[in-house]
Amino acid sequence: MTASDTPPVCDYEGSDYRTRFWEGQGRSYEDQVERIALRRLMPPTGTTLLEVGAGFGRLADEYLGYERVVLFDYSRSLLQEAQARLGDDPRFIYVAGNWYQMPFVAGLFATLVQIRTIHHAADVPSLLQQLARIARPQGHYILEFANKQNLKAMLRYLLRRQTWSPFSPEPVEFAPLNFDFHPRWLRQQLAQAGFHPGPMLTVSHYRIPLLKKVVPTSILVKMDSLAQKSGRLWQLSPSVFIHSQHPVGGAAASPDTFFACPECQTPLGAVEAEQLSCLGCGRKYTVQNGLYDFKEPADH
């Protein structure tokens, strides 16, 4: 896939996402229950971890059991916020790029995490193919997605307050570059990309403004934690987590490789003069203040 034919990407560059959506916005309940689900599905320790769409690093403290953690996002400004929050911890690597053209060698990551971002994916199969390429054999992929088949959508459809059916498998784009996915459809896409989809957890059952006002957050979190395992039977919540595993086969990345050219996938060497140069196609990518920038070549 070349830059000219990649699908559109949702760009949060320069946005106030952290302060507008999270900090001081009454979303402690959502944050806590997502962390519970992540801990249940993600191996607590490992070598390499990639968070896809890491933003300002909200969940970075969940990855302290890993030797190297890549926070990957399309927005340079959000990654700079993550750098400011996390300081000089050498485990964290900040990478800006397009998830349809991942700038990593094949078989690199032991664990992949993607939370609250795949709903912006216009081409899920292409994204999953990229993630399958860079996952190690038997690597783990923990994915959260916006559930099309949630209880609220069912009720609205039955009351004729929405036109799209929550029971049909295809994704629904309810706003530009914002998609809800049917659990069965997404499991099929994971399998076609080469992953083995496994257990599912249902999350944010009580994401209701009135409940959040009258019921203490600690109680809602405990209730949600108990309800999460119902995802193994049915999925009616607005948010669903799924654990998948990359099959045995293929090869893990060579220990002396890490980055690859997003255009031609040639492994890249060491940083020289604040740039990474591709010997395959000649493109150069900027590295400044600890941020690896693969959004576009330096000579673009």
Would you place residue 25 in the very low, low, confident or very high pLDDT band (cuts 50, 70, 90)? Answer: very high
Q: pTM of the entire structure? A: 0.96
Task: Collapse the DSSP code of 205 into the 3-class scheme (helix H, G, I; strand E, B; otherwise coil) and give the result.
Answer: coil
pLDDT digits (tens, 9 = 90+) for 130-155: 999 999 999 999 999 999 999 999 99
| pLDDT of the residue at 248 | 85
Query: What is the model's pLDDT at position 300?
Result: 64
Which pLDDT score is estimated for 45? 98
Domain coordinates of the chain in residue numbers? 3-293
What is the mean pLDDT of the segment spanning 226-236? 96
Q: What is the chain's mean pLDDT, rounded?
A: 96
Superfamily of domain 3-293: Vaccinia Virus protein VP39 (3.40.50.150)
* Strand pairing class (172-175; 92-96): unpaired
Rounded Cα gap, residues 98 and 262, in angstroms? 9
Q: Is 189 helix (H, G, I), strand (E, B) or coil?
A: helix
Mean pLDDT of 102-115: 98
The token duo for 225 is 């934690």
Strand locations in 130-216 (E): 135-146, 172-175, 178-180, 196-203
Pick 207 or 249 by higher pLDDT: 207
pLDDT of residue 195: 97
Q: Are 271 and 254 in contact (CB under 8 A)?
A: no
Q: Is 121 helix (H, G, I), strand (E, B) or coil?
A: coil
Q: What is the pLDDT of residue 5?
A: 74
pLDDT digits (tens, 9 = 90+) for 213-229: 999 999 999 999 999 99
Q: What is the pLDDT of residue 246?
A: 95
Helix 183-193 with 124-134: angle, nearest 10 deg: 50
User: For residue 270, is pLDDT > 80?
Assistant: yes
Mean pLDDT of 258-286: 96
The single-letter code of the amino acid at 20 is R
pLDDT, residue 1, reads 55
3-state helix, strand, coil in the chain (%, to 5): 30, 25, 45
